[in-house]
Amino acid sequence: MSRLSVRNLVADLRERSAPVASGAGSAYSFVADRVRPWFGTVTSIGWGVLLLGALAWVAATALGWIEAAVVAMAALFLLIGAAFFMIGRTRLAVATVVEPPRVAVGQALTGELRARNEARGPLVSTSLEFPIGAGGVTYDLPMLLPGAEHTELFVVPTQRRGVIDVGPVRTVRGDPLGLFRRVQEWTDRTEVFVHPRTTHLEPFGVGLVRDLEGSTAQNTSMSDLAFHALREYVPGDDLRHIHWRSSARHGQLLVRQFLDTRRSHIVVIVDSSPMSYDSEDEYETAMSIAGSLLRRGILDEFDVSFATGDVLMVRATAASGGGRTALDACSRATPQHTSLIEITAEAARQAPDASLVMLVTGRYPEFVTLQRAAGQFSVDATTVAVRVDSSQRAGFKAIADLPMITLPDLDQLPVVLSKGLSG
């Protein structure tokens, strides 16, 4: 037989066996898809009983031990008996409602869980596992007739700032011995934001650059919208800004001069290093100060940016729901071993147009560190440092052109801040 004939024979055999292989593969996939979920329901205890039974059966077969055969049969009966508890399917419609999804620290927050039986037959008593944050609750549903609904109320803890995961709601089906366990999720995970406690601040106005609807800065410009005065023409001035009527009246060329009008951009930076604070409470006070500043900036319709160790930069405006976005970032923030210099450098890179920078830190960073952090921003930006120190009285002072505010708690912020910005 020639080499060409052999090749043709092999190709023909492959072509004929392809449908058989395809059918075998489809059958294997079908069986595997049906069997795999069952293996997933076996617990570690169940696998231990199965292994014990297999070893006992091998010992009984190889060595003729009657005791080992008894152990193998007992393991088999245990597995078969426990498997009967897994027969059947749970058909539920579960929904959770948490309102509002955003609260401040200490505000009451409750929710509602509703479960409805969508099976054709009655639903026997079953358990619902409901994770809430680091903990959770378990609800034992009573027997529900087809279409019947059961409602439970729950409380979400809001004593601490953070993001709380609510759900997903799960049903757990298993046997009394714990050999099998089937978990089924019925809802998605929902995030509840617990914003830091904030205090009311007066509108930012003094010493700040405002947008066209607010006050203007005192920096003169030759190409803006707020007309300021006329001055004599000097070589190099744009001829388009010559005021011809006034020039004719005074017998010399006069040009328009404007005031700089830029949109205010407030950048709030929180030192995330745990080494900067004396306690966790002082760090939480710093986050509350940041939240109060961001909230006031949004109410004044400024652009606001928030930066800390694990939140390098979040920029928002009032039009884009900035209050929610900025305060959500405050909720997510956690202490990180990131230096204040690194945070301010990144913030200055992403917000070169900052008009007001608030550096919030603890009692331990040296003044030189604060100076270096403030120096990352433009000289046109007003920079204010805020120290949280529960051992000191509230006060304000300016050291080497850097305004410094000391606060023992959040309640002193409105008075001292207004003094600092106006001074």
Answer yes or no: is 51 within a domain. yes
Could you tell me if 286 and 413 lie in one domain?
A: yes
Residue 168 pLDDT > 90: yes
Could you tell me if 63 and 119 lie in one domain?
A: no
Q: What is the mean pLDDT of residues 364-368?
A: 94
pLDDT tens column, 398-423: 888 898 999 999 999 998 887 655 55
Nearest alpha-carbon partner for 374 in 350, 407, 400: 400
Mean of per-residue pLDDT scores for the chain? 81
Residue 240 pLDDT > 70: yes
Answer yes or no: is 314 within a domain. yes
Residue with the bigger pLDDT between 353 and 194: it is: 194
Residue 87 pLDDT > 80: no
Could you tell me if 82 and 96 lie in one domain?
A: no
Could you tell me if 125 and 179 lie in one domain?
A: yes
Answer yes or no: is 205 within a domain. no
Nearest alpha-carbon partner for 114 in 136, 90, 94: 94
Could you tell me if 29 and 70 lie in one domain?
A: yes
Q: Of the given ranges (35-49, 99-113, 163-177, 400-414), which has the lowest mean pLDDT?
A: 35-49
Domain stop point among 86, 121, 144: 86
Q: What CATH number does the domain containing 353 carry?
A: 3.40.50.410
pLDDT tens column, 268-326: 999 999 999 999 999 999 999 999 999 998 888 888 899 998 876 777 765 555 567 88
Could you tell me if 353 and 416 lie in one domain?
A: yes
Domain ranges, residue 312: 265-422
Nearest alpha-carbon partner for 334 in 269, 272, 410: 272
Residue 228 pLDDT > 60: no
pLDDT, residue 4, reads 46
Answer yes or no: is 211 within a domain. no
Answer yes or no: is 224 within a domain. yes
Could you tell me if 282 and 358 lie in one domain?
A: yes
Could you tell me if 82 and 136 lie in one domain?
A: no
pLDDT tens column, 64-78: 888 888 999 999 999
Q: 14 phi and psi, to 5 degrees? A: -65, -40
Contact 317, 303 (CB under 8 A): yes
Answer yes or no: is 42 within a domain. yes
pLDDT, residue 82, reads 86
pLDDT confidence bin for 36, thresholds 50/70/90: low
**Residue in this structure with the two tokens 């970032």, named with its chain if needed:** 329
C-alpha to C-alpha distance for 376 and 348, rounded to whole angstroms: 6
pLDDT tens column, 319-348: 555 567 888 999 999 999 999 999 999 999
Could you tell me if 172 and 71 lie in one domain?
A: no
Residue with the bigger pLDDT between 120 and 363: it is: 363
Residue 130 one-letter amino acid: F
User: Three-class SS string for the chain?
Assistant: CCHHHHHHHHHHHHHHHHHHHHHHHHHHHHHHHHHHHHHHHECHHHHHHHHHHHHHHHHHHHHCCHHHHHHHHHHHHHHHHHHHHHCCCCCEEEEEEEECCEEECCCCCEEEEEEEECCCCCECCEEEEEEECCEEEEEEECCECCCCEEEEEEECCCCCCEEEEECCCEEEEECCCCCEEEEEECCCCEEEEEECCCCCCCCCCCCCCCCCCCCCCCCEECCCCEEEEEEECCCCCCHHHECHHHHHHHCCCEEEEEECCCCCEEEEEECCCHHHCCCHHHHHHHHHHHHHHHHHHHHCCCEEEEECCCCCCEEECHHHCHHHHHHHHHHHCCCCCCCHHHHHHHHHHHCCCCCEEEEEECCCCCHHHHHHHHCCCCCCCEEEEEEECCCCCCEEEEECCEEEEEECCHHHHHHHHHHHHHC
C-alpha to C-alpha distance for 121 and 320, rounded to whole angstroms: 49
Show the CA angle centred on residue 118, arms to residues 117 and 123, nearest 5°.
40
Look up residue 70 and give its two tokens.
Answer: 């008894």
Residue with the bigger pLDDT between 14 and 121: it is: 121
Residue with the bigger pLDDT between 7 and 44: it is: 44
C-alpha to C-alpha distance for 103 and 159, rounded to whole angstroms: 11
pLDDT, residue 394, reads 92
Nearest alpha-carbon partner for 369 in 396, 399, 393, 390: 399
Q: What is the mean pLDDT of residues 119-145?
A: 85
- State percent of the chain over pLDDT 90: 38
Answer yes or no: is 213 within a domain. no
CA 224 to chain centre: 40
Domain stop point among 46, 62, 86: 86
Q: pTM of this prediction?
A: 0.71
What is the total count of domains within the chain?
Answer: 4
Could you tell me if 234 and 136 lie in one domain?
A: no
Look up residue 177 and give its two tokens.
Answer: 């011995």
Q: What CATH number does the domain containing 110 carry?
A: 2.60.40.10
Domain stop point among 51, 86, 121: 86
pLDDT, residue 213, reads 37
Could you tell me if 233 and 289 lie in one domain?
A: no
Residue with the bigger pLDDT between 99 and 194: it is: 194
Residue 167 pLDDT > 60: yes
Q: 377: alpha, beta or left, given left = phi > 0 and alpha = psi -120 to 50?
A: beta
Answer yes or no: is 39 within a domain. yes
Contact 326, 316 (CB under 8 A): yes
The listed range with the strongest mean pLDDT (158-172, 214-228, 312-326) is 158-172
Residue with the bigger pLDDT between 127 and 395: it is: 395
C-alpha to C-alpha distance for 363 and 118, rounded to whole angstroms: 59
Could you tell me if 250 and 176 lie in one domain?
A: no
pLDDT, residue 215, reads 41
C-alpha to C-alpha distance for 315 and 352, rounded to whole angstroms: 12
pLDDT, residue 389, reads 96
Residue with the bigger pLDDT between 384 and 209: it is: 384
pLDDT confidence bin for 22, thresholds 50/70/90: low
